[in-house]
Amino acid sequence: MASLVGSRVERKEDKRFLTGKGRYTADINIANQTYAIFIRSPHARAKIKKIDTSKALKASGVVDILTGEHIAQDKIGGLIAGWAIRSEDGSEMKCPPNPPLAKDNVNFVGDPVAVVFAETLDEAKTAAELVKVDYKELKAVVSLADTMKSEAIHEGIEKNLCYDWLLGDRQKVKEAFDKADKIIKLDITNNRLIPNAMEPRACVVDYNTASEEITCYTTSQNPHLSRLIMSAFGGVTPENKLRVIAPDVGGGFGSKINLYNEEIVCSWASKKIERPIKWVAERTESFLTDTHGRDHITHAELAVTNDGKFLGFKNETTANLGAYARVFGTVTPTYLFGPCATGVYVMPAAYSNVKAVYTNTAPVDAYRGAGRPEATYTIERIVDKAAIELGMDPIEIRMKNFPTEFPFKQTLVHQVDSGDYVAGLEKAKQMSDYDGFAARRKDSESRGKLRGIGVTTYFEACGIAPSPVVMMLGCGVGLWESAEVRFNPTGQVTVYTGSHSHGQSHDTTFAQIAADELGVPFENIDVVHGDTDKGTFGMGTYGSRSLTVGGIAIINACKKIITKAKKVAAKMLEASEDEVEFKDGEFVVAKSNKKKTIGEVAFACYLPGVRDEVKSPLPEGEEPGLKESAFFDPANFSFPAGSHIAEVEINPETGEVKLDKYTAVDDFGTIVNPTIVEGQVHGGIAQGVGQALTENAEYNEDGQLITASYMDYTMPRADDFPEFQLGFTCTKATTNPLGVKGCGEAGSIAAPPTIMNAVINALDGQEISMPATAEKVWKACKELKKSNAKAA
């Protein structure tokens, strides 16, 4: 039987998604359900003086209206930060309380203060307009650059500072800088983004008055963790009385890692009002209240020698947390950002210093890449700047500073197990016809256009795991993953995983690897995920961890199955275990034609006996049935890497930027399904290009989100893209038996600096910030014309 790992198996998911048969949370309706509408703060910062629900309570169809007072009375806990980060001075980070419904203060536009439950959605909306909230408006803290000088938003959190974190050695860096021929300096902004999952958040909650069990259907990337937080921190109900189901989920990109206010409130309220509740966000609510991403201001310095060797690196960053610290909010700008900021290079000395601050804006949390796009943008932009200032080719300066031996001890934290950065860049150079660029530039110029080429080489740390390591760094939970593999008596297999698919095609990829391990046809394997009542437990999907952690748990459970099945097969075949070999789904006795298929063994495990004789196929002490589970906690992160090269053409008359060519060469180790991986790379690049060229979440000085609809927030579209050229190199990960590395975030990590380096190259080195919108580029083109005129 040919191995399925590496083959373009068609997606099991396609039929359901392409024929409109997906079942999303909003598709779920429960008899007698009420409809929830949340009343949200229209102000970025205010004190709640009074909430008057008297008129609304009398409106037609209203079942109940709950506020922060009720939350406090019932002692329902708030939302939490999942990672505890310590400041350079040893002090613990400072986090404000974040009650599910604000009682005293609101801290961003969209902060929920009350909720209306009514018989119909219309009635809920009408009643919501009758709830009168009396606010005392306060001056909002919005500008990231000025936050630390502004009035404190949260009581007891001076300078709005959550932490002032350091990773690295300031003294060593100083020494390295003292020896440098040249110091390259760069100030950059990593623009704030709104994740924009296609499916808005939603939850449907059903409380069973007899069993006292709450079932919460929700749009989550990790239902098990949502249940844990709702029970342990929210105090909604004990874990055994809470079932969280995340059915089909239409994209998350990190924004659905968090447990949100609405899920806690609806779960708690369903028990209180003894009615099922349905809540579905409107798109405006998604814009306002889904966690946002990025939003850094960075000053970086790179110490170099005249011939382009890197000596040291400084990264001083202010990161916006928004109004509250959420699950990955505090770790994204620290351990997911700082270490990767030295890039793929040998960097003798470095530090990353990050100040994370609160502002009156939506909470900022992980967004595809989480920290690593920000890190890669920082280092790849400054490396290009160094190349410009030293008069070197951008490829040459990178090659000069690559490590060539693996494992490679990266400066700040990571022990990178495998990689070949030279091979990746060589391949990208050749695939992109880098050497033909000059001719293409000439051609563009003949048409009155400016052309630029941009290079990025990245590595990233993903597949976030080793529990002892992440817990040592402050994570509140271990980041292992679990799996359970069950044979049916008739030979089909169900795989239960703690990972969660919301676009990653786990049904297919996981079935492929299980098929290889068990020798069972792909068609006979089903993957089940997203339900806390099905499968053991799980840490969910984010940080490109599903295959490298969750997939390996599946493999380990399969291996346990084979171990047991082999014992049974040996007894059935009247051979010793050492004589039996398992291959392609069959247990064969060496040098004989005696064999049993794994299906026959599974059948025997469930029906262990025969007619007229007391005889069992099971060896002494072996239990009936064929089902195993495994938890996997890898020894390290996984470290995908790659080289991306893009070309842009600029119309200097209008400033419009056209992305003309995009080449991506990635090393994801072993690739299980190339089609799915290519899809992940495509999507990631599209989001990265969005960050570089079009997307920007903008608040005005009063803290109103002025890009709260698709009329103003510019998502990239299919016709903004050329055909991507994708290539792969492969160095297998040594930390898992499949040799796989994460692939989900690479595109969004590599694309922003690739595009911006190309734009800046077209502008002859002129600095420009993301997103490179038409007007900004047009202004830069005018400057360029002026300076060229001066030079001539």
Partner 1 sequence: MKTFNYHSAKEVKEASKLASSNSAFLAGGMTTIPSMKLGLATYKDLIDIKGIKKLSGIKASGKTIKIGATTKHVEVAKSKEIKKAIPSLAALAEGIGDPQVRNRGTIGGSIANNDPAADYPSACIALNAIIHTNSRKIDAEKFFKGMFETSLKNGEIIEAIEFEIPQKSNYQKLPNPASRYAVVGVYVAKYKRGVNVAVTGAKSCVYNAKDLAGALSKNFSSSAINNVKITSSGMNSDIHASANYRANMVKTFAQKAVDAC
Our finding on whether 446 is near partner 1 (CB under 8 A) is: no
Our finding on whether 714 is near partner 1 (CB under 8 A) is: yes
Min dist. Cβ of residue 67 to partner 1 (A): 22
Closer to partner 1 by Cβ: residue 283 or 442: 283
Contact 74, 269 (CB under 8 A): no
Min dist. Cβ of residue 712 to partner 1 (A): 6
Our finding on whether 415 is near partner 1 (CB under 8 A) is: no
Q: Which two tokens stand for residue 783?
A: 């400057």
Min dist. Cβ of residue 371 to partner 1 (A): 27
Please give the single-letter amino acid code of residue 779.
Answer: K
Helix axes 372-390, 746-762, angle to 10 degrees: 30
Number of C-beta neighbours around residue 264 at 10 A: 27
Closer to partner 1 by Cβ: residue 284 or 675: 284
When binding is defined by CB under 8 A, the residue of 698, 701, 785, 788 that contacts partner 1 is: 698
State how far the Cα of 549 lies from the Cα of 694, in Å rounded to an integer. Answer: 34
Own/partner contacts of 396-405, CB < 8 Å, gap of 24 or more, are: 396/308, 397/308, 398/344, 398/345, 398/425, 398/455, 398/457, 399/425, 400/307, 400/308, 400/309, 401/308, 401/309, 401/310, 401/345, 401/346, 401/347, 402/344, 402/345, 402/346, 402/457, 403/344, 403/345, 403/346
Q: How many residues bind partner 1 (CB under 8 A)?
A: 24
When binding is defined by CB under 8 A, the residue of 10, 69, 393, 712 that contacts partner 1 is: 712
When binding is defined by CB under 8 A, the residue of 54, 104, 393, 710 that contacts partner 1 is: 710
Contact 664, 726 (CB under 8 A): yes
State how far the Cα of 764 lies from the Cα of 791, in Å rounded to an integer. Answer: 13
Min dist. Cβ of residue 502 to partner 1 (A): 25
Contact 747, 456 (CB under 8 A): no
Closer to partner 1 by Cβ: residue 687 or 694: 694
Min dist. Cβ of residue 450 to partner 1 (A): 16
Closer to partner 1 by Cβ: residue 83 or 287: 287
Contact 266, 36 (CB under 8 A): yes
Our finding on whether 653 is near partner 1 (CB under 8 A) is: yes
Min dist. Cβ of residue 698 to partner 1 (A): 6
Q: Running DSSP on this structure, what letter comes out for residue 435?
A: G
Q: What residues pair up with 207 in beta bridges, in sequence order?
A: 214
Our finding on whether 774 is near partner 1 (CB under 8 A) is: yes
Min dist. Cβ of residue 129 to partner 1 (A): 9
When binding is defined by CB under 8 A, the residue of 198, 711, 791, 792 that contacts partner 1 is: 711
Our finding on whether 189 is near partner 1 (CB under 8 A) is: no
User: Considering only 45-53, 460-468, 707-715, 731-739, which stretch makes contact with partner 1 by CB under 8 A?
Assistant: 707-715
Please give the single-letter amino acid code of residue 498.
Answer: G
Q: Angle at CA 786, nearest 5°, toward 785 and 792?
A: 85
Closer to partner 1 by Cβ: residue 523 or 712: 712
Helix (H, G, I), strand (E, B) or coil at 464: coil
Contact 189, 769 (CB under 8 A): yes
Min dist. Cβ of residue 288 to partner 1 (A): 13
When binding is defined by CB under 8 A, the residue of 171, 404, 592, 654 that contacts partner 1 is: 654
Min dist. Cβ of residue 135 to partner 1 (A): 20
Positions in 656-675 near partner 1 (CB under 8 A): 656
Min dist. Cβ of residue 124 to partner 1 (A): 12
Our finding on whether 18 is near partner 1 (CB under 8 A) is: no
Min dist. Cβ of residue 707 to partner 1 (A): 7
Our finding on whether 447 is near partner 1 (CB under 8 A) is: no
When binding is defined by CB under 8 A, the residue of 430, 715, 767, 788 that contacts partner 1 is: 715
State how far the Cα of 200 lies from the Cα of 215, in Å rounded to an integer. Answer: 20
User: Considering only 12-20, 138-146, 399-407, 703-711, which stretch makes contact with partner 1 by CB under 8 A?
Assistant: 703-711
Our finding on whether 267 is near partner 1 (CB under 8 A) is: no
Min dist. Cβ of residue 774 to partner 1 (A): 7
Closer to partner 1 by Cβ: residue 280 or 671: 280
Min dist. Cβ of residue 153 to partner 1 (A): 25
Our finding on whether 769 is near partner 1 (CB under 8 A) is: no
Our finding on whether 399 is near partner 1 (CB under 8 A) is: no
User: Considering only 167-175, 553-561, 586-594, 775-783, which stretch makes contact with partner 1 by CB under 8 A?
Assistant: 775-783
Closer to partner 1 by Cβ: residue 198 or 210: 198
Our finding on whether 694 is near partner 1 (CB under 8 A) is: yes
Helix axes 674-689, 746-762, angle to 10 degrees: 50
Our finding on whether 72 is near partner 1 (CB under 8 A) is: no
Q: Which two tokens stand for residue 95?
A: 């986090």
Number of C-beta neighbours around residue 758 at 10 A: 30
Exposure b/e, 409-433, CB count within 10 A at least 16 = b:
ebbbbbebbbbbbbebbbbbbebbe
When binding is defined by CB under 8 A, the residue of 33, 34, 126, 320 that contacts partner 1 is: 126
**What are phi and psi for residue 555, nearest 5 degrees?**
-60, -45
Closer to partner 1 by Cβ: residue 233 or 778: 778
Helix axes 223-232, 261-273, angle to 10 degrees: 60
Helix axes 421-431, 394-401, angle to 10 degrees: 160
When binding is defined by CB under 8 A, the residue of 143, 706, 767, 786 that contacts partner 1 is: 706
Min dist. Cβ of residue 56 to partner 1 (A): 16
Closer to partner 1 by Cβ: residue 146 or 710: 710
Our finding on whether 590 is near partner 1 (CB under 8 A) is: no
State how far the Cα of 689 lies from the Cα of 193, in Å rounded to an integer. Answer: 12
Query: Looking only at Cα atoms, what is the longest distance across the chain?
Result: 104
Do you find a cis peptide bond into 407, omega within 30 degrees of 0? yes
Our finding on whether 721 is near partner 1 (CB under 8 A) is: no
Give all strands (DSSP E) within 635-723, no chain letters. 641-650, 657-667
Give all strands (DSSP E) within 75-211, no chain letters. 105-106, 112-118, 132-137, 161-168, 182-193, 202-208
Contact 157, 96 (CB under 8 A): yes
Q: Which two tokens stand for residue 342?
A: 């030295």
Number of C-beta neighbours around residue 24 at 10 A: 18
Closer to partner 1 by Cβ: residue 467 or 773: 773
Our finding on whether 785 is near partner 1 (CB under 8 A) is: no
Our finding on whether 332 is near partner 1 (CB under 8 A) is: no
Min dist. Cβ of residue 697 to partner 1 (A): 11
Q: How many helices (H) and strands (E) does the chain have?
A: 19, 28
Helices (H), 163-282: 170-178, 223-232, 261-273
State how far the Cα of 730 lies from the Cα of 749, in Å rounded to an integer. Answer: 19
Min dist. Cβ of residue 790 to partner 1 (A): 21
When binding is defined by CB under 8 A, the residue of 189, 208, 284, 616 that contacts partner 1 is: 284
Contact 202, 280 (CB under 8 A): yes
The structure tokens 């300078």 sit at 159
Our finding on whether 574 is near partner 1 (CB under 8 A) is: no
Closer to partner 1 by Cβ: residue 181 or 710: 710
User: Considering only 121-129, 242-250, 622-630, 671-679, which stretch makes contact with partner 1 by CB under 8 A?
Assistant: 121-129
Min dist. Cβ of residue 674 to partner 1 (A): 31
Q: For residue 751, what are the contacts with CB-CB under 8 A and spacing of at least 6?
A: 456, 644, 646, 662, 684, 685, 687, 688, 689, 691, 692
Q: What residues pair up with 487 in beta bridges, in sequence order?
A: 493
When binding is defined by CB under 8 A, the residue of 488, 492, 629, 707 that contacts partner 1 is: 707
Q: Which two tokens stand for residue 602?
A: 């599974």
Q: Which two tokens stand for residue 303?
A: 């110490």
When binding is defined by CB under 8 A, the residue of 713, 724, 740, 747 that contacts partner 1 is: 713
User: Which residues in this chain contact partner 1 in the complex, by CB under 8 A?
Assistant: 122, 125-126, 282, 284, 653-654, 656, 694, 698, 706-707, 709-715, 773-775, 778-779
